[in-house]
């Protein structure tokens, strides 16, 4: 088997928060193969966005990271010059709020073609032509007109499609998508997801898809990882994760979400609030919110261990196997 | 018939220049009822909420709540206060809807003083009561918003709205910005509050699962018009209008394959 496209080993990230370095991500190891879609699901403070930022080398100033991130076999921290530029071309990022990531006084054309013209020496006409082709691919027919427009003239859904088209210009092999549809209407979300899904399959592009929506991740990703308080707590094939969760937190996320069909009952809400890594209790980070907590859970931090073809971080996982699903669907 | 309704909206219309944001919308809510307005950005759902609360004046049409007309701006303080006692609203963003220099207890107390009167002792007892209804402890009630999480702030906003003892609570995307586990707590809370106080809800949301969880009836809006209405369950289980069908099929569930819609957005009326 060939090496994975992206491999994170024991990644830990600390950020300066109110004057001291605090851990927001730790013990994170994961891998994405070529053409694979991996979902990263979690709530506030889970570290899911920080993971994408670490991979894109976009950590905030003052951040400290340990462990390694390898892309196509090379440690990304050591990349310089031409190697770094080619990494940047091969790994594209799209964010939740397209308006915050575009310059309001520059046209869509400037925004889309800048990287091609400055880094890849493509002529203005050729860059525009490629932009128009890609806009057509994401369902924007009148690309030539759109290139002349400014971000405020486009709706959120349209602008997010422009972002996707722009991220494809350099023919990336890996797309980091950080909540790309969260700010969009549900019908527009379906459009954007179908575009991403189609492009990914056609181009064999790998994707790290970050979302708070377990259902959405399950629907579009091959495997899904659930994060809590800066750690991976469960990782499995998407359908298994949703239908037969192994970690009480995953089961909690499924049970807390109202259902679109079936009987309406009281939601199985998880008590308390989500924690960041630096606020988490010793032992299992989820212990203070978990229904199944025992003494061991508050004393010893569980390791991420293989189970049923996936990975889970829970002392009682084997014992609880098959029982969590009743909680979420009962 | 009209006497039985808590809220009656008839032939409501709002124009912004040449753009018609809300076009001939009528609906009513019975006392203790719960109605959802769904639709995408620009469908006019928030404009309706703003007209009911008096933040925007309708171009034409009538709004009656608790038997009183509120289609025109209130004349004088007494009427404005009466309207505030009838309808309250909880906004989407709990970070911008609270005064950063005022604790939850002070915010709730202020509404109580305005609407219910009573002695300071009675008021602080009621603040504690409302706090426990929404699940805030003494320390959280007296903390400034910056010391509270998003879910806790939204509880303060709900308690503040309930302090006026409104007959109708408008929830404008009030749970959309919350984490999944917190959203479940707030949705359970809203169900409990309605059962205990008999307050009615008008929920404005794009999240159909949330709509199913806490409303009985639904209207679906598209480009300012109502395209479908009925019992929430029936409409979501068996949508009739093409736009409602699209909305329903856009919700990701197990086995869902995202699909692109055609570019015929105007053909759904």
Render pLDDT for B77-117 as a digit per residue (tens, 0 to 9): 999 999 999 999 998 888 888 999 999 999 999 999 999 88
Q: Per the CB < 8 Å rule, is B256 touching A195?
A: no
pLDDT of residue B134: 87
B139 and A CB contact within 8 Å: no
User: pLDDT in tens for each of the 330 residues of chain A?
Assistant: 467 999 999 999 999 988 899 999 999 999 999 999 999 999 988 999 999 999 999 999 999 999 999 999 999 999 999 999 899 989 999 988 888 889 999 999 999 999 888 878 899 999 999 999 999 988 888 999 999 999 999 988 889 889 999 998 888 999 999 998 887 888 888 888 988 888 888 989 999 999 999 999 998 999 999 999 999 999 999 989 988 899 999 999 999 999 888 888 899 889 888 888 998 999 999 999 999 999 999 999 999 999 999 999 999 999 998 888 655 544
Those of residues 171-230 in B touching chain A at CB distance below 8 A are 179-185, 187-188, 191, 206-210, 212-213
A253 and B CB contact within 8 Å: yes
CA dihedral B52, B58, B60, B63 (to 10 degrees): 10
pLDDT of residue A2: 64
Taking contacts as CB-CB distances below 8 angstroms, the residues of chain A near B149 are: 273
Measured between alpha carbons, how far is A88 from A173 in angstroms, rounded to an integer? 10
Q: In the structure, what pLDDT confidence band is assigned to residue B263 with cuts at 50, 70 and 90?
A: very low
pLDDT of residue A330: 41
pLDDT digits (tens, 9 = 90+) for B43-55: 999 999 999 999 9
Give me the residue from A214, A218, A258 closest to B212, CB to CB.
A258
**B28: left (phi > 0), else alpha (psi -120 to 50), else beta?**
beta
A242 and B CB contact within 8 Å: yes
Q: H or E stretch including B86?
A: helix B77-86
Taking contacts as CB-CB distances below 8 angstroms, the residues of chain A near B253 are: 215, 219, 260-261
Residues B156-160, mean pLDDT to the nearest whole number = 94
Measured between alpha carbons, how far is A20 from B168 in angstroms, rounded to an integer? 47
Q: H or E stretch including B242?
A: helix B242-249
Q: H or E stretch including A174?
A: strand A174-178
Q: DSSP letter for B168, please.
A: E
Taking contacts as CB-CB distances below 8 angstroms, the residues of chain A near B207 are: 186
* Strand, coil or helix: A78: helix
B96 and A CB contact within 8 Å: no
Give me the residue from A187, A194, A220 closest to B40, CB to CB.
A187
Taking the CB of residue B242, how many other CB atoms lie within 10 A of it? 15
Please tell me whether the overall predicted TM-score, pTM, comes out greater than 0.90 for this model: no
Q: Per the CB < 8 Å rule, is A269 touching B188?
A: yes
Give me the residue from B149, B179, B250 closest to A190, CB to CB.
B250
Residue B268 has pLDDT above 60, yes or no: no
Write out the two tokens for A21.
């370095």
């Amino acid at each position: 088997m060939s090496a994975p496209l992206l491999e994170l080993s024991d990644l830990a990230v600390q950020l300066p928060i109110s004057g001291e370095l605090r851990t927001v991500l730790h013990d994170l190891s994961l891998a994405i193969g070529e053409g694979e879609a991996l979902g990263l699901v979690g709530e506030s403070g889970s570290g899911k966005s920080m993971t994408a930022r670490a991979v894109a080398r976009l950590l905030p100033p003052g951040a400290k990271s340990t462990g390694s991130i390898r892309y196509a076999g090379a440690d990304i921290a050591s990349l310089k010059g031409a190697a770094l530029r080619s990494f940047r071309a091969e790994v594209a990022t799209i964010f939740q709020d397209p308006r915050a990531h575009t310059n309001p006084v520059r046209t869509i054309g400037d925004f889309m073609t800048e990287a091609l013209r400055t880094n890849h020496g493509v002529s203005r006409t050729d860059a525009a032509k490629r932009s128009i082709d890609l806009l057509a691919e994401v369902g924007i027919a009148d690309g030539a007109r759109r290139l002349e427009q400014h971000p405020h003239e486009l709706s959120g859904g349209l602008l997010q499609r422009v972002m996707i088209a722009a991220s494809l210009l350099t023919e990336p092999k890996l797309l980091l998508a950080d909540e790309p549809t969260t700010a969009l209407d549900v019908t527009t979300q379906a459009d954007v997801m179908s575009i991403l899904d189609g492009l990914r399959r056609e181009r064999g592009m790998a994707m790290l898809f970050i979302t708070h929506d377990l259902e959405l991740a399950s629907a579009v990703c091959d495997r899904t990882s659930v994060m809590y308080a800066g750690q991976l707590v469960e990782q499995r094939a998407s359908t298994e994760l949703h239908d037969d969760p192994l970690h009480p937190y995953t089961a909690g996320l499924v049970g807390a979400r109202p259902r679109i069909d079936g009987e309406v009952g009281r939601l199985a809400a998880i008590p308390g609030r989500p924690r960041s890594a630096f606020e988490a209790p010793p032992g299992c980070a989820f212990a203070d919110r978990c229904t199944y907590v025992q003494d061991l859970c508050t004393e010893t931090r569980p390791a991420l261990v293989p189970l049923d073809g996936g990975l889970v971080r829970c002392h009682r996982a084997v014992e609880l196997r098959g029982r969590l699903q009743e909680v979420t669907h009962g | 018939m009209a006497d039985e309704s808590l809220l009656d909206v008839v032939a409501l219309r709002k124009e912004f220049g040449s753009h018609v944001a809300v076009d001939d919308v009528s609906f009513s809510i019975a006392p203790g009822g719960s109605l959802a307005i769904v639709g995408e950005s620009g469908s006019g759902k928030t404009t309706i909420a703003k007209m009911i609360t008096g933040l925007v004046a309708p171009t034409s049409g009538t709004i009656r709540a608790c038997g009183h007309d509120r289609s025109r701006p209130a004349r004088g303080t007494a009427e404005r206060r009466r309207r505030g006692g009838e309808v309250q609203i909880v906004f989407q963003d709990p970070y911008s809807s609270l005064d950063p220099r005022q604790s939850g207890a002070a915010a709730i107390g202020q509404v109580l003083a305005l609407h219910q009167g009573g002695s300071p002792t009675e008021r602080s007892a009621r603040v504690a009561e409302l706090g426990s209804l929404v699940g805030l402890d003494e320390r959280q009630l007296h903390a400034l918003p910056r010391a509270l999480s998003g879910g806790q702030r939204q509880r303060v906003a709900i308690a503040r709205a309930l302090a006026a003892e409104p007959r109708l609570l408008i929830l404008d995307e009030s749970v959309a910005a919350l984490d999944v586990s917190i959203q479940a707590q707030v949705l359970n809370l809203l169900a409990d509050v309605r059962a205990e106080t008999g307050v009615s809800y008008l929920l404005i949301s794009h999240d159909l699962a949330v709509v199913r969880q806490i409303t009985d009836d639904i209207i679906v809006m598209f480009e300012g018009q109502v395209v479908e209405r009925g019992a929430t369950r029936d409409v979501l289980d068996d949508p009739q209008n093409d736009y409602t069908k699209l909305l329903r099929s856009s919700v990701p569930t197990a086995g869902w394959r995202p699909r692109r819609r055609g570019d015929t957005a105007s053909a759904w009326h």
